[in-house]
Structures are given as C-alpha cells and as structure tokens.
Structure 1
Amino acid sequence: MVGPDFSRPQAPTLQHYSADPLQRTVAASDQTELAAGAAQQLDHGLPVSARWWQSFDSATLNQLVAEAFRANPDLAAAQAALREASENMQAAHGALIPSISGGLDSKRQHSSSSGSSSSNGGRVYNTFNASVDVSYELDVFGGNRRAYEALQASHEYQQFELEASYLSLASNVINAAISEASYREQIATTKDIIQLQQQLLDILQTQFEFGSISQADVESQVASIAATQASLPPLQKSLALLRNQLAVYLGKAPSELSMDPITLDQLTLPQQLPLSLPSDLVAQRPDIRASAALMHQAAAEVGVATANQLPQFGITGSYGSEGNTFAELFSPGTLVWNLASSITQSIFDGGIKRHQTRASEAAYDQAQASYRSVVLSAFQDVANVLDALNYDAQTLRARVIAEEAATRSEKIADEQYKAGGTSYSTLLDAQKTLLNARLLRVQAQAARLTDTVALYQALGGGWWNRSGTPQAAAAALPVPASEPSATSQQ
C-alpha cells in the first residue's frame, strides 16, 4: 500500500510533570473533620477508578452523574456520531471485496425487416434475460485499503471523543454541585454579615442622636453595609446561572430542575489520590488518543491521495441466459457471458491529483503538530493541578487558622460584653470578623474539592479500568421518583 504506514508515537520518557520536586502529601488542616481539610496522599501505584466521582462519598453526586449520563443531549450526540462512524467504516469495507448483483429483465420490441411477412414491414418479439454480474476493482496500490484504514481511524477518534464527553460531563456536573454548595454558604454568611452590620448601624444611629458620635461615623457604616449588600447579588446571580447550567447538564430545562441542595459538609475529600506517570498518561487521556487517531486518519488519507495518481485496474464479468420466452431462459443454447478488464490512468488533469496529494501530506504534518500540542497541554494540566493541590491546601490551612483565631476573638468579646467590659458594637465587630473569615474558608474548601476533580479529569478519568459503558452503569441506577427518566423525556 502506498503512503506512510502509521504507528502511534512513542510515549515520552519523562518521569516528572514539573521541574520542582513532587510533594506527595498535601495537608490543609489538623481538623480532619472539616470538609476538604484532610491530608491527601499522591500514589503512583493507585489505579484511577472508572467511577472516580464515588470517592467523594455522596449519594447525591452519584445520582446527578448517573442522570446526566442518561439524559444529556450532547452525550447522546457523541454516541450517535460513534454509531455513524462505525457504519461508515463497515460500508468502506465492502470496497475490498467483489461486488455481485443479479438482474432479470424482459423486453418487447419491434425491428424492421425487409423480408418480413408482417404487414408493417417488420417484426415484434420478446426477449428475456437473467444474469449475475460481478465487478471488482483491483486494489493494486492500496487506495481502497487506505480509505478503509482512514475510516477505522475516524471510528477510533469518535470512540475517544465519546470517552472525553463522559469525562467532561461528569467533571462539569460535580464541579457545578460543589460550586452550588459553596455559593449557598457564601450567600448565607453574607446575609449574616449584613444583619450584624445593620445591628451596628442601629447602635450608631442611637449614639448619634445622643451626640456621642458624629454623622460621619453613621454614614461610614451605611457605606459599609451598602458595600456588603452589593456583594450579595453577584453571588445570587452566579448561583442562579449555575443552577441553570446544571439543569442543562442533566438534560432538563432550568424550570425542571428539582434537587435537594448539597452542602460542603456532605462531601468527603478523597485522601488517597492516583498519579499516573507521564509515559502512561498518553495512553490514558481521551483527548491524546483522539488526536492520535486523527493523525492516523491523516496518514491513511495520504495513501488514498497517492493511489489516486496511479493506474486503476478493474475486472467485470457477467453470466446468464437469454431467450425469446421466459420458458426458454434456462434451456440449452441460451447461455450468455462476458468477461472484461480495464486500466485507467489520468493523463492530464491540470495538476489536481498532485496538489491533492500535497494537501493530504500537509494535513498529516498538521495532525502531527496538533498531537504534540495536545500531549504538552495534557502534561501542563497535570502540573497545574499538582500545584493547585499544594497551594490551595496551604490557602485553606491559613483560612482555617484565621477562622479559629476569629472564633476565639469573638468568644472573648462575648464574655467581656456579658461582664460589662466592652460595648455591644465591639462584639458585633468581632462577629463580623468571624463571618468574613468563614466566608473565605468556604471558598478555600470548595477550591480543594474542585482541585481533586481536576486531577481525576487530567489523568483521563479511568475509562481503561471500566467494564461496559458509563451509560449502562447509569441505566442500572434507580431514577428518582420526582424526576422523569431520559426515556420519558424523549
């Protein structure tokens, strides 16, 4: 077969994702009971679970992912694209074997004849013909085989595109649930802060009326309340948009979404995390495998274009019977047959085939460069996640320390207020400081959870450790009574 013989690029020999030494243990807080506060261990020997989302130990998360697998329209489109590629591949295989067709026809015709006794100077007669025709294009230079190889590669590409769709959908659903929990806690905390600020404003207005403070002190507190209130609508907007997006992930209209809210305390941070070697990552990431399939397809299409420049060989044959009546068709003496061969070669086409071949070679070069880019991006993804795991753990540790200090300060202020040693406004300030610290801690908790999701996604999602399809696993789970199944929605 003409054209390049494709082989998957060799795995890189890299042993590390970044120049800095890998920190195998990341810890955020000594309070292991705090959601997302436990230490995490990175283990090269730990396999990536195909159902990695179950490591968060949340039945609600598991149900959301299952519902998305059942009903998401983008996932259904990816599944249909795979079926289409499979049928096209099977159709192309037919070009590799002879084509056989059968025919039966009858004719009634008139022919002129000077010696005929017919009144109109001719004769009318019937002919019947039954035949089997065989045609075969000799694939001397492998053009048809290369075309079939290209469609095999296209089918493989759609397979890994589907795996990437499963992985992306599961990650998006879980990140949406985590973000929703974070937004809800941030909104609740912000409302508590506004309430405390309003209480303090009431105190300041009373003091102003008695002449203890100036109008400027009151207006300063009004501005502080307004600033805090201004931060509330963006959080509410983000939550609303997130809920709408989550509904679409689940294959629903936003008005159809009904689910109990998840809190961060209901999610367990996985403490043992897998970490694949760079040499293994290229075989695990669906986007890398899909890019390799595109490179394979481009290589095969170079062979197709090259073969089209060369002579085309064909063989055709027919075997049958012919008679003037249907009863004569298969009687002795009615046998007809023919056998033919052909060679065709383009002599002048204005350089069309030559330039098509060069274009396919350029497309192959482009696919090779794109593959290298995808591999480098995959390594970058893992390196970014490893850095995020470490630094976000440090951030959460600092937030927890700040919240603990604010808690102690609020407790002291409360005791002093009860003993008459401090004012109520001082207590309210301490409580506001505590709530602000809690607000930042919630954000840091959510970051650690989403970092873990990002790690599983960056490692490829564990599809190679799965038997069956996620769709089949989702179908085996019960559908909540309050939510229609994907079948009923269709």
Structure 2
Amino acid sequence: MKHQSRSRPAFLLSLFALSGCMVGPDYKKPAAIISPRFKELHPAKGWDYAAPSLAAAPKGKWWEIYNDPELNALEERVAINNQNIAQYEAQYRNARATINAIRAQLYPTLSGSLSFNRNSQGRGSRNASSGVLVNYADGSSGTTYTASNTTESTYGMGPTASWDLDLWGKIRRQIQSQVTEAQASAADLANATLSYQAQLATAYFNLRYQDSLKDLLHRTAELYEHSLKITQNQYDAGVAEPTALLQAKTQLEQTRAQEVQAGIARAQYEHAIAVLIGQPPANVTIPTGSLTRNIPAIPVSVPATLLQRRPDIAAAERRMESYNAQIGAAVAAFYPDVKLTASYSYSGDPVGALVQVANRIWSLGAAATETIFSGGSRTAAVYEANANYDAYTAAYRQTVLTALQGTEDQLSNLRILADQAAQQAIALDAANKAVTVSMNQYMAGTEIYTTVITAQATALSNAETSLAIQQARMVDSVALVQALGGGWDASLLPSKGSMQTDNPLLPSFIQPDKNK
C-alpha cells in the first residue's frame, strides 16, 4: 500500500508533465513580398516629399496635421458614435469572450446532484416469507398467502467532477487560435476606425471644395454682372449690338445656375458626414468655409514599416497564426483523449441519517478513448487546416502587396498633382490676362463681345481646374495617411496574455462612449 501511495503522486505529476506537450507545427511568420524602398521615393524621381523626419509622422489624431478646428471636432466623434465601428467593437468583444469559453475546457467540470426516489414493490406476491399455515375443519391443512406491499424512499446527494487532461494540446491549440483571431478582430476594429475617419476627412474636403467652387462662381457672376452693365451702357449708347447684350446676360445667368447647382453636392457631403459621426443629417450643420491651400508634408519611411503600421496587414498576419494553431488541433485528434472522473455522494433513508459513513459512495477513475477508424475524416481535417493556413498566407502576402500599391498610388498622385498645380497656375494667370486684354479691346471697339465671352469662359474653366487639382491633392493626402496606417502601430494590439483576462478591456485606440 505504501508503494501505491507513493506512485500515485508520481503518476499524476507525469500526467501534468505530458500536458505541456502540444502537437502540430509551431507558428513561424512567413516572409512578406516587399520591396526595399518605394518606387516613388527613388532619387531619380527628384521628389523629396518624405523630407520631414519620421518623428513628425501623424500619430493617433492624424487629422490634426491639417490644422482645421472644424475637422478636428468632427473626427473626434467618429470612433465614439459611428455605428459601423460599434459593430466591429461588438465583434471584438465577442471574440474575446469566446477565448474564455474555450479556456474553460482546461479546468475540471464540477457538478452537484440532489435526488429523491420513492419505490413501491409487491401486492399479491407469492413467496415463502409471506405464506401462513392454516388447519381446516376436515382435518386438512394448507398455506395461505397474503398480499405484501413494500415502499421505500431513497435520498441522494453529492458532487461529481471530470477533467480532460488535454495531453496533446488540442484545447490549448484552440485557445491559441481564438486568441490570435481576437487579436485580428482588434486589428479589424482599428482598420475600420481608420477607414471611417479617412472617409470623413475625404467628405469634409470635398464639401470644402464645393464651398470654394460656389464662392468662385459667385465672384465670377459678380464680374459678369459688371460686364453686363458695361455692355448695357454700350448698347444704350448705340455702339453695341443686341446680340452682345444677350450673350452677356446668358453668360451671367448660366454662371448663377452653376452656383446654385454646387449646393447639391455640398448637401450630400454634409449628410454623409452626419452619418459618419452617428447623427441624423437633420442634426448636423457645417458652417461654410473654404478649401485649404496648404498640403501637409507626410513623412514616408521604407515599405517594411507598413507591416507594423497597417492594421489590415496586422489582421491578416494574426489570422495566419490562428489557422496555424488549427492544424495542431486537427493533429491532436489522432491521439487518445484522457479524462479523469471523480464522484462523492451519499445515498440512503431517512434524510436525517443520510450523511453517514455507511451511506457514503465515492469513485475515482481515468479513461482514455481513441478513435480507431473514422473513414479518413481526421486526415481530411488536417489537410483542410493546412489548406486554410496556406490560403491565409497568400491573403497576407496579397494584403501587403495591395498596401504597397495603394501607397505608391498616392505618392505618385501627389507628385504628379503638384507638378500639374504649378503648370495650371501659369495657365490660369495667362487666362486672366486674356480677359483683361479682350475687355479693353472690346471697349476700344477693336474686338466683338464674343471674344470677351470666350476669354472669360476660358478663365473660369482654368480657375475650376485649379480648384479641382487642389481638391484632389487634399483627398490624396488623406488617402496617403490612411495607406501609411494613420499613425497606428501593431504594438497597440492587446497582448496574448491580456486577451485571456476575465474582464477584457478595449484596445487603447478605442475610446468608448461613457454615456452608454
């Protein structure tokens, strides 16, 4: 007996030692397909858009680089009130809760029971113990049987426990898979937040473009109104044709109609901004402003930084580890499943004497189950898990390539648009001078009014083009900030250890609404 008592702890210790084993491949981050530097930042391009130091890169509240108080106030409300972000936040909390649900399988399951049974047996049974010998008057004798009825009450109570030892790490692989999936969900949340913040900034600058376009058309209409008065005076003096007067009038009214039309797009952008900040359009009114002329310099580093700064890349990378862990969980199905069971109870009658040694029942047991034949389902599950991992590896690499493409697109857009803006400024200056010259010639009687109208229309077209180029540069600068991750960093993801707390906190990049 002493030998058995000593070997039992040793046996249990060996089980715990085995429980540290996890079958299946350990995760090794695959290499991404990435270039050593961005094509647009090659010295041959002669463009120093990345001249500012990386320390000056936007972080957190990246929209503050535009120095627009109205934009700052609107952006602050996106992460709090945007309902699409709220959905991603709920999905993240769901992923974290699932971790604890899976982790609970590592611990023993303890249950208690309380039972009562009342059994009745007998009535008319014929057995030796119930028979009575009877002597009859004629001298004969016989046995008379009487009906018996036995009723018993049985009470029982006690706990039972079972424990899956997870010797091969199936449960722990499932936990690993869910932890990394929850990290990916946190990255999805960050990516969604950045996306909707960028959408708001884009809508805001488009709205400001409509404000500036409306102002341009209004100033142009005032100029045309002045020209109409000159033409009217010329007509009244008998030196201008009726056609010139009608042309001047037509040009003025067309421009006023364009000014009114600009309000359509402005209203739609304002409505879009309202929805992005989680408000009905009727509750949001944005004062009229103008499109800024300042394009902030956005520092750009080497492409490898995107692997840390892009939340969509981080999400794809975390899902690779999640699916790698699922391979281990599938492999563990080939090994025996070992469980420990224990029970301790009392059963008897009456209730007052139930908890006595004589009524005690206890048991300890261990069982190992192994699937001998499953028609190849376990092998298929391993193949399926490997295929899923390979698919997400390809998805990760494609996400990196798409990120590189998006960044290169915005870098080239900004470089080319800067050149176009400079060239367009020259064209606009020339068009404005042509208006002045043509008007002077008309006043001198050396040119017809059609020449003035043509020059004015050309000048307005060039002014609109200059404004559209500025709009595109602002929108592309927002897109570049988004392509670079908006100052986000993978270190902001919740750690694996913190993901398994009972009361998970939100990631640091989310500011929950305290009024909820």
Which TM-score tier does this pair reach, normalised by the shorter chain?
0.7 to 0.9
In the alignment, is the contact (CA less than 8 A) between 1:133 and 1:317 conserved in 2?
yes
- TM-aligned CA distance change 1:3 to 1:70, over 3 Å: same
Determine whether 1:353 maps to 2:378.
yes
Structure with the bigger RCO (C-alpha within 8 Å, sep 6+) is 1
Give the Cα–Cα distance (whole angstroms) in 2 for the partners of residues 40 and 433 of structure 1.
Answer: 36
Determine whether 1:184 maps to 2:203.
no
**SS of the residue 2:347 aligns to:** strand
Give the Cα–Cα distance (whole angstroms) in 2 for the partners of residues 61 and 466 of structure 1.
Answer: 25
Return the match for 1:4 from 22, 25, 28.
25
Return the match for 1:161 from 166, 180, 188.
188
Equivalent residue letter for 1:249: L
Return the match for 1:453 from 478, 500, 514.
478
- TM-aligned CA distance change 1:121 to 1:227, over 3 Å: farther
- TM-aligned CA distance change 1:362 to 1:169, over 3 Å: same
1:340 positional shift? 2.3
1:362 positional shift? 0.9
Query: Which structure 1 residue ranges, 5 or more long, are not aligned?
Result: 28-38, 476-485
- TM-aligned CA distance change 1:229 to 1:362, over 3 Å: farther
- TM-aligned CA distance change 1:363 to 1:92, over 3 Å: same
Instruction: State the partner residue of 1:270.
Output: 296
1:368 positional shift? 0.6
CA radius of gyration, larger in: 2
Return the match for 2:266 from 209, 233, 239.
239
Give the Cα–Cα distance (whole angstroms) in 2 for the partners of residues 234 and 363 of structure 1.
Answer: 52
Q: Could you state the TM-score of these two structures normalised by the residue count of structure 1?
A: 0.81
1:306 positional shift? 2.0
Cα distance per residue 1:329-387 (max 9 Å; x no partner): 32232221112222222233333332222112111110011111001111112211211
> Higher mean Cα deviation, 82-91 or 445-454?
445-454
Instruction: State the partner residue of 2:6.
Output: none
- TM-aligned CA distance change 1:262 to 1:124, over 3 Å: farther
Q: What does 1:380-399 align with in structure 2 at a 5 Å threshold?
A: 380-399=405-424
Determine whether 1:18 maps to 2:39.
yes
Give the Cα–Cα distance (whole angstroms) in 1 for the partners of residues 372 and 256 of structure 2.
Answer: 79
Equivalent residue letter for 2:158: S
Instruction: State the partner residue of 1:312.
Output: 337
- TM-aligned CA distance change 1:263 to 1:232, over 3 Å: closer
Equivalent residue letter for 1:2: V
Cα distance per residue 1:388-429 (max 9 Å; x no partner): 121111111122222333344445556677788877665555
In the alignment, is the contact (CA less than 8 A) between 1:25 and 1:42 conserved in 2?
no
1:9 positional shift? 3.2
1:2 positional shift? 2.1
- TM-aligned CA distance change 1:440 to 1:41, over 3 Å: farther
1:149 positional shift? 0.8
**SS of the residue 2:76 aligns to:** helix
> Higher mean Cα deviation, 327-336 or 176-185?
327-336
Equivalent residue letter for 2:296: P
Give the Cα–Cα distance (whole angstroms) in 2 for the partners of residues 320 and 356 of structure 1.
Answer: 41
Instruction: State the partner residue of 2:157.
Output: 130
In the alignment, is the contact (CA less than 8 A) between 2:206 and 2:471 conserved in 1?
yes
Q: What does 1:46-445 align with in structure 2 at a 5 Å threshold?
A: 46-112=56-122, 121-190=148-217, 236-265=263-292, 268-271=294-297, 273-411=298-436, 429-445=454-470
In the alignment, is the contact (CA less than 8 A) between 1:192 and 1:435 conserved in 2?
no
Cα distance per residue 1:154-193 (max 9 Å; x no partner): 1101100011011111111011000111123224434665
Give the Cα–Cα distance (whole angstroms) in 2 for the partners of residues 126 and 45 of structure 1.
Answer: 81
Q: What do you get for the CA RMSD once the two structures are aligned?
A: 3.9
> Higher mean Cα deviation, 368-377 or 238-247?
238-247
Give the Cα–Cα distance (whole angstroms) in 2 for the partners of residues 50 and 388 of structure 1.
Answer: 24
Cα distance per residue 1:85-111 (max 9 Å; x no partner): 110011111111222222223332334
Q: Could you state the TM-score of these two structures normalised by the residue count of structure 2?
A: 0.77
> Higher mean Cα deviation, 409-418 or 177-186?
409-418
1:221 positional shift? 8.9
Calculate percent identity across the aligned residue pairs: 25
- TM-aligned CA distance change 1:453 to 1:348, over 3 Å: same
Instruction: State the partner residue of 1:34.
Output: none
In the alignment, is the contact (CA less than 8 A) between 1:11 and 1:279 conserved in 2?
no
- TM-aligned CA distance change 1:83 to 1:120, over 3 Å: farther
Cα distance per residue 1:4-25 (max 9 Å; x no partner): 2113335677430227615898
Give the Cα–Cα distance (whole angstroms) in 2 for the partners of residues 291 and 423 of structure 1.
Answer: 67
Give the Cα–Cα distance (whole angstroms) in 2 for the partners of residues 297 and 148 of structure 1.
Answer: 9
Give the Cα–Cα distance (whole angstroms) in 1 for the partners of residues 396 and 252 of structure 2.
Answer: 53
Cα distance per residue 1:189-219 (max 9 Å; x no partner): 3466577678879959x98xx898798x999
Equivalent residue letter for 1:172: Q
Equivalent residue letter for 2:208: A
Equivalent residue letter for 1:66: E
Instruction: State the partner residue of 1:30.
Output: none
Query: Which structure 2 residue ranges, 5 or more long, are not aligned?
Result: 1-21, 132-145, 494-506
Cα distance per residue 1:94-140 (max 9 Å; x no partner): 111222222223332334586589x8634222222221211111212
- TM-aligned CA distance change 1:411 to 1:58, over 3 Å: same
1:45 positional shift? 4.7
Aligned residues: 462
**SS of the residue 1:274 aligns to:** coil
Give the Cα–Cα distance (whole angstroms) in 2 for the partners of residues 282 and 329 of structure 1.
Answer: 67
